[in-house]
Homo-oligomer: A and B are copies of this chain.
């Protein structure tokens, strides 16, 4: 199992904050998702291309621990890697490092099940497994 880490840098939007002055806890889910997109691109494909092939990876479980502050205009790094594989499921782990404050602020994971057109879980087929097992590579990475 390839556990290389990918990193997505995100600038926090004003509309992602709430009146407490921090990023709202639900908006981290969008950042985790964006990091998954980066993870795919680093390996030379896109999540969109997976859906075009007839597969989807819906989230079946999420957990996040918020330990530090993330505020408007902060530049964060969402660090993502595959933490576990099962027959038809994959677990991504996340760590958010806030470049602006210099702190690791958040940890989390998501579990996904691979489904086909009928939205039923399927064993990861070879063509998908080959993509997901790729090591990230600067040569093949997508912008």
A residues engaging B (CB < 8 A)? 11, 13-22, 24-30, 33-34, 37, 46-48, 56, 58-67, 71-73
Contact = CB atoms under 8 A, between A and B. Distances in A.
A28 to B, nearest CB: 8
A33 B19 contact: no
B73 A66 contact: no
Nearest to A109: B63
B66 A25 contact: no
A19 B72 contact: yes
A123 B59 CA distance: 36
Contacts of A62: 25, 62-64
Contact of A18 (B19, B47, B61): B19
A138 to B, nearest CB: 19
Nearest to A29: B26
- Can you list the 5 inter-chain pairs with the closest CB atoms, starting with the nearest? A26-B29, A17-B19, A48-B73, A63-B63, A25-B59
Contacts of A33: 13-15, 26
